[in-house]
């Protein structure tokens, strides 16, 4: 029997409504490289939500590409970016940011989140031209540990960035999950006023692929398409990404899909907590990190796919369980039955 995957939120293809629109528009002739009517419509839907008249939207195929394109265009040769040590750019992008010629100032944080104090300490510690000059802050919402920022926290970070002349960039690979979770008090309109650049992740929320980069700061918009093209991110068939974001944003599918993934992850978490297990972080989103005894993990691995994260001691390890837009309630119920030892399987 094939194992059921809780590895990630991109194990399935795309939501049927996305495929329907791709199919429906398939034979229409459209201009290439993102100048098509679908990209234009998707940009309008997104800008309506972002509510910043100065913002512009650009599409790229993937998250790593979004990060390296944004940071390469933000930073001058001697400048660096501040990020949590657990940030995707620090651990899972094969040195993509460093390969653009920029150091990452990695900050140790317990929950994947940066605070104004973290940022200020890095800035204060880099005070002459023998060191890199921190010029941008990278945060993820939700973070790689499933945690989210509250509006007041984002506002405080934005103020710190402004005071220190830093650009603020928010990685939204899992933005949908963050915006719809039980702890959410941040909206797309908040991001339209609080950060300089962010991206709206499609790949992990029902799209085949694609991320929408929103640039609020007009100075950063100049020549951005050149940077996208130079870094291999400008698709001749940009319409494919445009169509997907039209489907996701024309009637709130984007938010519905993430709310479903969140609800089922939280049902998993409640069931696991009720059985007496703890968690690595307090995550309200679609990634949860329960701590299990190693022998239990070995048993669960017979039927389920998931990542082992941190070894906490000789006998316990935190694993990552991720639900997706397509996760079924029965899969969650069955996992909890297996965990409680009540499953007949």
Ligand X SMILES: Cc1ncc(COP(=O)(O)O)c(C=O)c1O
Q: Which residues bind ligand X (CB under 6 A)?
A: 62-64, 88, 140, 144, 171, 173, 203
Q: How far is the CB of 342 from ligand X (least distance, A)?
A: 33
- Give the closest residue to 256 by CA, choosing from 175, 189, 177, 343: 177
Long-range contacts of residues 113-118, Cβ cutoff 8 Å, at least 24 apart: 113/84, 113/139, 113/143, 113/147, 113/149, 113/153, 114/82, 114/83, 114/84, 114/139, 114/157, 115/153, 115/156, 115/157, 116/156, 116/157, 116/159, 116/160, 118/82, 118/84
Q: How far is the CB of 96 from ligand X (least distance, A)?
A: 9
Instruction: Indicate the residue among 123 and 241 with the shorter CB distance to ligand X.
Output: 241
Give the nearer residue to ligand X in terms of CB position, either 191 or 336: 191
Considering beta carbons, is residue 86 or 260 the nearer one to ligand X? 86
Q: In the numeric block, which tokens belong to residue 306?
A: 């998931």
The 8-class DSSP code of residue 232 comes to T
User: What are the backbone angles phi and psi of residue 158, rounded to the nearest 5°?
Assistant: -60, -40
Residue (123 or 289) nearer to ligand X, CB:
289
Neighbours of 146 (CB within 10 A): 28
Of the two residues 36 and 93, which places its CB atom closer to ligand X in the complex?
A: 93
As given in the structure block, the two tokens for residue 323 are: 């639900």
Q: Cβ-count burial of 138 within 10 angstroms (0-12 exposed, 13-18 middle, 19+ buried)?
A: buried
Q: How far is the CB of 299 from ligand X (least distance, A)?
A: 27
Q: Which is nearer to ligand X, 69 or 272 (CB)?
A: 69
C-alpha angle 276-329-23 in degrees, rounded to nearest 5: 145
What does DSSP assign to residue 2? P
Q: Which H helix or E strand runs over 296?
A: helix 294-300
Contacts of 117 (CB under 8 A, 6+ apart): none
**Shortest Cβ distance from residue 175 to ligand X (Å)?**
9
Smallest separation, CB 339 to ligand X (Å): 26
Q: 161 with 119: CB under 8 angstroms?
A: yes
With respect to ligand X, which residue has the nearer C-beta, 112 or 134?
Answer: 112
Length of the chain: 345
| Residue nearer to ligand X on the CB measure, 11 or 51 | 11
Give me the least distance between CB of 91 and ligand X, in Å please: 10
Contact 312, 332 (CB under 8 A): no
**Number of C-beta neighbours around residue 127 at 10 A:** 9
Please check whether residue 258 is in contact with residue 249, taking contact to mean a CB–CB distance below 8 angstroms. Answer: no
Residue 233 or 271 with smaller CB distance to ligand X: 233
């Amino acid at each position: 029997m094939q194992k059921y995957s809780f590895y990630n939120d991109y194990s399935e293809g795309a939501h049927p409504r996305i495929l329907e629109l791709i199919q429906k528009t398939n034979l229409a002739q459209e201009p290439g490289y993102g100048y098509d009517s679908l990209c234009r419509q998707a940009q309008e839907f997104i800008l309506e939500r972002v509510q910043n008249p100065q913002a512009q939207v650009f599409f790229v195929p993937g998250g790593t590409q979004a990060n390296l394109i944004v940071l390469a265009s933000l930073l001058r040769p001697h400048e660096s970016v501040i990020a949590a040590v657990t940030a995707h750019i620090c651990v899972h992008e094969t040195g993509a940011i460093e390969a653009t010629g920029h150091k990452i100032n990695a900050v140790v944080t317990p929950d994947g989140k940066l605070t104004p104090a973290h940022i200020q300490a890095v800035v204060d510690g880099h005070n002459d031209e023998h060191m890199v000059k921190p010029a941008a802050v990278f945060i993820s919402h939700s973070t790689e540990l499933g945690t989210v920022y509250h509006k007041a926290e984002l506002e405080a970070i934005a103020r710190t960035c402004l005071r220190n002349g830093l650009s603020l960039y928010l990685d939204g690979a899992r933005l949908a999950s963050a915006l719809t979770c039980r702890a959410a008090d941040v909206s797309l309109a908040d991001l339209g006023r609080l950060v300089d650049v962010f991206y709206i992740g499609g790949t992990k929320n029902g799209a085949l692929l694609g991320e929408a980069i929103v640039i609020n700061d007009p100075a950063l918009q100049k020549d951005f398409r050149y940077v996208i093209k130079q870094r291999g991110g400008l698709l001749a068939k940009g319409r494919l990404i445009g169509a997907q974001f039209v489907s996701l944003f024309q009637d709130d599918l984007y938010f519905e899909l993430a709310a479903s993934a969140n609800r089922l992850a939280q049902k998993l978490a409640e069931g696991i907590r009720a059985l007496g297990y703890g968690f690595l972080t307090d995550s309200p989103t679609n990634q949860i990190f329960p701590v299990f005894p190693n022998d239990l993990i070995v048993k669960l691995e017979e039927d389920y796919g998931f990542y082992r994260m941190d070894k906490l001691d000789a006998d316990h390890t935190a694993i990552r369980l991720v639900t997706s837009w397509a996760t079924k309630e029965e899969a969650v119920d069955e996992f909890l039955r297996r965990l409680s030892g009540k499953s007949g399987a």
